[in-house]
Structure 1
């Protein structure tokens, strides 16, 4: 890597960290805390079913908008304007979300939130394959991955801080994303890529599917989808798990428990993200780290399955953070190495992000059914652990990356 490229990459990494941290802060603080409390306040008895419904339907918008926005940014040859537009639109959408008071209107508003946030996310995730040399993908992916623990911690703490005033909390998260988008688009210089010619709608749909015909990309997609399905089946219901499954210390509210667990999880995640990205670069062994970290995440899910204690949840947070942090850092690097075509990077990363958003459609429905049929959250942890094991095994058939 040339000196100029190295300097450009160094300047880009902190901006990637900030941009991703802001995104994850909203993704954790809004649906993980504020939205759950909002829905519970509207209908306490039906909170699990209603939350599952709102989360699942809104995830459809995430699934649709992510690859579409990626393809549009490919066609325009720019990423920064899409990052800025998605970030700025988060403010009015969060204002709208805070102003509604029925489950139906909450669902509509959060669908819009998912739409604008996935415009932001699709462009932001395309920056690494666009601007970072292959030899630095692990470090860049670590910077992206580090945004997860930083963002989740900030999201949990802010969510707990605004638990009694979720309307103001929504606005705060919107402003954070807008500020991060303005900072990134203002400081991260980009060279305009060649504009893409418009494609007929049928050809665009076929192009989205063409990425999945590539053997290695398809298995990377499957592995990501399985792990994310298991992760969000549990993570999406964390507040309710703490309220209805975990025996908390005397005097501790579930919102306060979230604010304790997230920093613990984040420290573990930060350590494994940085070490995983660096070690995968050093040893050039992406599949080994991805598979091992997915297996570790499955082990973490067994802990609260066999114990309802607060200690079990703390252990789960640490072990899950170690596994999931390393997985997201190294798997992101792996994926950028199996993209079918460099010129379609944003579109194909958008297709991969269907593996992030798509399981979020299924996860809330799956979780609510398992909790209802299984009479509790223990079966949910066991199913999520099995999905993580399958996600670990899915990287084995990948051929072009060791």
Structure 2
């Protein structure tokens, strides 16, 4: 892919970090991503489902699906819009800091919610704040990391998902009897990470982008999708994420209503066991996938195989709806999803159409992560109600992930 770089483009795009600066920056980004995923996983997997089950136990699946779908709209809208604004201002730091502090305030509001409506409003605002924060954090890698180190950088940053997910679920499971405390702790971790990244990250100042008429902005907003490779990367991620979240959005209810747990093991405690299993596997595959994809320069192979594996492993809880089956599923699914997200992120940074629009275009790509989360709760609740319960849910999730694997094949500029 050939992209013409003008003098104005170069002035707005910071030079890559030195090796020492790269190491410090990656450490800060790793912590920021860890905090971010701790909140997402702790709230989404444990705190919010528990809260909704307490508020409306008879309609918990439908209520949680509605909250998940509506809040994902906010995530989908705010991520690329905030990314475009941070491109426009030439700064990531204020958006990282503002989003992180706003997230803490929204977690305080969510912790006090006593109705489904109030919980919906609070989590929607929380998603908005977190996606303002996330859009700017995500743009730092294409801004400041050399292309030859993108796979390794994506792997290091990608460890935030397994590590943060594990910590978030453990914090949430330990505070499930005091939901407000759990929400505040997770929000505070994000706020602290945002302060450290903006204070210690030494962000180079980019020149603000020149003003653009609204019509041109609207046209440019999704212009990256006109690029062949970016479009297929978008489609592949969207399908994989849709399949993934159709299933992982309901872990508490799956363990309550579908899986035969050992005597004495409660669903919330089971999540606290399964999550470290999945996240440890995810951590291993994130590092290995990122490093080996750089070394072998074969990123499409890693992305396609991991997406296919994520689809095939969905059959395990269908044929074995047992505690052992869930342990196997969690481990293999973690391996597949970790490798996919690490290497796919590297692929995306290499097919971005324009370096100076990195945050905007990464935000557009994040629609492929957030957008399916709008659809997934409604798809999942419909499948559970009308297509064989949780068995049908696993099969649908697997089919979507396999389609995501096939969507990687048309990408041409990355091996």
TM-score range, shorter chain: over 0.9
Measure how far apart 1:183 and its partner are: 1.1
Partners in 2 of 1:210 and 1:385 — Cα distance? 31
Partner of 2:63: 50
Partner of 2:356: 343
Partner of 2:5: none
Asked if structure 1 preserves the Cα contact closer than 8 Å seen for 2:17 and 2:146, the reply is: no
Q: TM-score, normalised by structure 2?
A: 0.95
Is 1:26–2:50 an aligned residue pair?
no
Partners in 2 of 1:73 and 1:255 — Cα distance? 39
Is 1:197–2:224 an aligned residue pair?
no
Partner of 2:330: 317
Note closer, same or farther for the CA distance 1:71–1:375 as it changes in structure 2 (3 Å cut): same
Partner of 1:373: 386
Is 1:126–2:143 an aligned residue pair?
no
Partners in 2 of 1:356 and 1:19 — Cα distance? 18
Measure how far apart 1:375 and its partner are: 3.7
Q: Which structure 2 residues correspond to residues 169-248 of structure 1 after superposition, within 5 A?
A: 169-248=182-261
Asked if structure 1 preserves the Cα contact closer than 8 Å seen for 2:17 and 2:144, the reply is: no
Q: Select the residue among 336, 360, 364 that pairs with 2:377.
A: 364
Q: TM-score, normalised by structure 1?
A: 0.98
SS of aligned partner of 1:250:
coil
Partners in 2 of 1:229 and 1:67 — Cα distance? 19
- Give the unaligned 5+ runs of structure 2: 1-14
Is 1:353–2:366 an aligned residue pair?
yes
Measure how far apart 1:202 and its partner are: 2.5
Partners in 1 of 2:178 and 2:360 — Cα distance? 38
Measure how far apart 1:3 and its partner are: 11
Partners in 2 of 1:104 and 1:324 — Cα distance? 33
Report the aligned-residue RMSD: 1.2
Partners in 1 of 2:318 and 2:354 — Cα distance? 42
Measure how far apart 1:4 and its partner are: 6.5
Measure how far apart 1:223 and its partner are: 0.3
Partner of 1:297: 310
Is 1:166–2:179 an aligned residue pair?
yes
Partners in 1 of 2:179 and 2:100 — Cα distance? 20
Partners in 2 of 1:4 and 1:322 — Cα distance? 30
Partner of 1:277: 290
Moved more, 316-325 or 296-305: 296-305
Partners in 1 of 2:244 and 2:214 — Cα distance? 33
Asked if structure 1 preserves the Cα contact closer than 8 Å seen for 2:17 and 2:145, the reply is: no
Measure how far apart 1:221 and its partner are: 0.2
Q: Select the residue among 339, 355, 360 that pairs with 1:326.
A: 339
Measure how far apart 1:286 and its partner are: 0.7
Moved more, 239-248 or 297-306: 297-306
- Give the unaligned 5+ runs of structure 1: none
Measure how far apart 1:199 and its partner are: 2.5
Partners in 1 of 2:62 and 2:166 — Cα distance? 27
**1:219-275 deviation per Cα after TM superposition (whole angstroms, max 9, x unaligned):** 000000000000111111111101111111110110000000011111111110000
Q: Select the residue among 272, 280, 292 that pairs with 1:259.
A: 272
SS of aligned partner of 1:68:
helix
Q: Select the residue among 301, 312, 321 that pairs with 1:288.
A: 301
Moved more, 97-106 or 357-366: 97-106
Note closer, same or farther for the CA distance 1:375–1:382 as it changes in structure 2 (3 Å cut): closer
Partners in 2 of 1:17 and 1:249 — Cα distance? 36
SS of aligned partner of 1:126:
helix
Is 1:41–2:54 an aligned residue pair?
yes
SS of aligned partner of 2:57:
coil
**1:175-203 deviation per Cα after TM superposition (whole angstroms, max 9, x unaligned):** 01001111111111111112012323332
Partners in 2 of 1:301 and 1:201 — Cα distance? 44
SS of aligned partner of 2:292:
helix
**1:81-102 deviation per Cα after TM superposition (whole angstroms, max 9, x unaligned):** 1111111111111111111211
Moved over 3 A (4+): none
**1:302-345 deviation per Cα after TM superposition (whole angstroms, max 9, x unaligned):** 11121110000000011001100000000000000000111110
